[in-house]
Structure 1
Amino acid sequence: MPLLCEITIVAASSVLSPLGFALLRRLSDGQLHSGEALAAATGVTRARVSQILRASENAGFTLERVRGVGYRLLDPVPFLDRDAIVAALGNAASRLKIEVADSVDSTSTELLRRAARQAVDRQVLVAEWQTAGRGRRGRSWTAVAGGSLTFSLGWRFEQGAGFLAGLSLAVGVALGRALDAAGFKDVQLKWPNDLVYRHCKIGGILIEISGDALGPALAVIGVGLNVRLPPKARHDIAQPVTDLASIDRERALDRNRLL
């Protein structure tokens, strides 16, 4: 008797919950996991597991349900993992404080909030999901859980804001060089803060500076990269966009190494 299966897009209301992320991380190996095993691992009922997975509809994951067997992701991708990021950075990791969050409103907004009560110099905050990602001039930034790389870095400068006018350009050039070294050729910087590939946007930079006019100053450097955008996300963005997966369709992309 053939197995009955159902393929849906994994959803969450407007925000993936921590429990939703916990379930998706367990499904990220691409193997079938029974509802019973998922429930035991997360401390909820099987009915709750089914409810959470059915409730996730804007995250862009393709989920298969095989009746009587379990669930799996048809297009599994490595989730962000702090240990993997630290390992990829090697000795450079010791100079940074790295934090991985499942969900925040905006990595830059969160670092700016923290800066009001503590030092955020050399702090890196990377998130799977941003509920209110921000771009230049108040524009929103569309991020896809599992398919985007969104992070912010706090950096203290002894100079004031007036001496940092070229920071956005410097960051853009550095990102372009990093992508080139990673094998993604011909990514260009479009002034003042866009990364483009063949006239399509692939990433963006947002820099916010605070501090004394003559220094010191704090720069919160926000970066968003499209790694793997599903068709719905492309449709919702009001400009031509592309992603790293489209540049190199043969490569298995690991955002932990890319960061």
Structure 2
Amino acid sequence: MQDNKYKQHTVKLQIIKFLSDGEFHSGEDLGESLGISRAAISKHVKGIQEWGIDIARVQGKGYQLARPMDLLDQKVIQASATVPVELIPVIDSTNQYLLETFHQRESGCVCIAEYQSQGRGRRGRKWQSPYGSNLYFSMYWKLEAGVAAAMGLSLAIGVAIVDALESLGARDLKLKWPNDLYYQDKKLAGILVEMSGQTGGEAHLVIGMGLNIDMRVGDNSIDQPWANLSQVFDAEMPTRNQIVIALIQAWKQVLDQYEEQGMASFVERWNALDNFKDKPIKLLMGNKEIYGIGKGINAQGGILLQTDQGIETYVGGEISLRKA
């Protein structure tokens, strides 16, 4: 099981919990609390820094995080969730974990993590996953209607994410076809829907999301403009636990609606949130580029493009949308 696989991280996770208050903690005090030497603490801190956590060490004072950390709490989340929630602080990939274990789970169950070592996005891209800075969230869903009905699912989930964040006070959120959440023309979150085969008529889907919450400025490994959720609230930002609880509720509600009514019931709402509606865009399909004006989506979730030939529809597959 995943928990056993990551037992070697127990001490690192305990150190992070101590440091999460943003105060100084001496190596001696940390070692005493955890029953290990100061040298062992120093070694573990180096390992923690490899997870993307900024820890300062000041002579005579000890270790301190660059800023306090808002850690996820499984008990708090589970108390408000209607589906099973598993928090695995350090994981390869929340999507991969559910893909490998879905047969022993109920539809709607959720896996969340503080850090992913092999987070992935669409078309095999690596998803940057520093510890505690963002949200790595996956849900297993058994779609009774089968594979063919799954085509517009990432679009419906985009609507669910906006619904959840707006319920907490977020503003000016937009969607980009087929699987991104945007704020002020910058990427805020990505959605990845993966399938683990089909038995009979039903499809077994894992829907993953990486949401930037407090990503460090100056991360040069990201090749497109990005935003943090911390920019999106006028008032104080909700805790990460509150965000997870709202997401679980919104995803389940939208997936139930999707199951009953299909993609057509989300078209109007999605089009109202379309970041590229009536704007010049290009679609990248392999080596081919198609230019036009974005006209939202149709009832099947296909992107509508106004070109010299009229309105053309493009559906799924290996298509990327860019601003022209």
CA distance in 1, matches of 2:86, 2:164: 21
Q: Secondary structure at the match of 1:150?
A: strand
1:209 pairs with 2:201: no
The change in CA–CA distance for 1:184 and 1:109 in structure 2 (over 3 A counts) is same
Kept after mapping to 1: 8 A contact 2:53/2:130: no
Match of 2:263 in 1: none
CA distance in 2, matches of 1:252, 1:29: 17
1:25 pairs with 2:17: yes
1:157-182 superposed Cα distances (whole Å, 9 cap, x missing partner): 22111122221111110101111121
Runs of 4+ in 1 over 6 A off after TM superposition: none
CA distance in 2, matches of 1:114, 1:134: 18
Kept after mapping to 1: 8 A contact 2:168/2:238: no
1:71-98 superposed Cα distances (whole Å, 9 cap, x missing partner): 22230111111012224xx2xx2x3111
The amino acid of 1:118's aligned partner reads Q
Shift of 1:33: 2.1
The amino acid of 2:98's aligned partner reads L
Shift of 1:214: 6.0
TM-score between the two structures when normalised by the length of structure 2: 0.68
Identity of counterpart residues, as a percentage? 39
Q: Secondary structure at the match of 2:178?
A: coil
Kept after mapping to 1: 8 A contact 2:140/2:206: yes
Match of 1:222 in 2: 208
Match of 1:247 in 2: 232
Match of 1:43 in 2: 35
Shift of 1:250: 6.1
Kept after mapping to 1: 8 A contact 2:99/2:196: no
Alignment partner of 2:83 out of 84, 96, 99: 96
The amino acid of 2:147's aligned partner reads A
The amino acid of 1:98's aligned partner reads V
Q: Secondary structure at the match of 1:32?
A: coil
1:142 pairs with 2:142: no
Match of 1:112 in 2: 99
The change in CA–CA distance for 1:252 and 1:66 in structure 2 (over 3 A counts) is farther
Shift of 1:21: 2.2
Kept after mapping to 2: 8 A contact 1:111/1:120: no
TM-score between the two structures when normalised by the length of structure 1: 0.84
Match of 2:159 in 1: 173
**Cα RMSD over matched residues?**
2.1
Higher relative contact order, structure no. (Cα contacts within 8 Å, ≥ 6 residues apart): 1
Mind listing any 5+ residue stretches in structure 2 that lack a counterpart?
1-7, 245-324
The amino acid of 2:172's aligned partner reads D
1:121 pairs with 2:115: no
1:103-126 superposed Cα distances (whole Å, 9 cap, x missing partner): 1111000111113x5235222110
Q: Secondary structure at the match of 2:49?
A: coil
Shift of 1:146: 1.2
CA distance in 1, matches of 2:47, 2:150: 45
Q: Secondary structure at the match of 2:56?
A: strand
Mind listing any 5+ residue stretches in structure 1 that lack a counterpart?
1-15
Q: Secondary structure at the match of 1:231?
A: coil
Shift of 1:237: 0.1
1:158 pairs with 2:150: no
Q: Secondary structure at the match of 2:54?
A: strand
Question: More displaced, 154-163 or 249-258?
Answer: 249-258
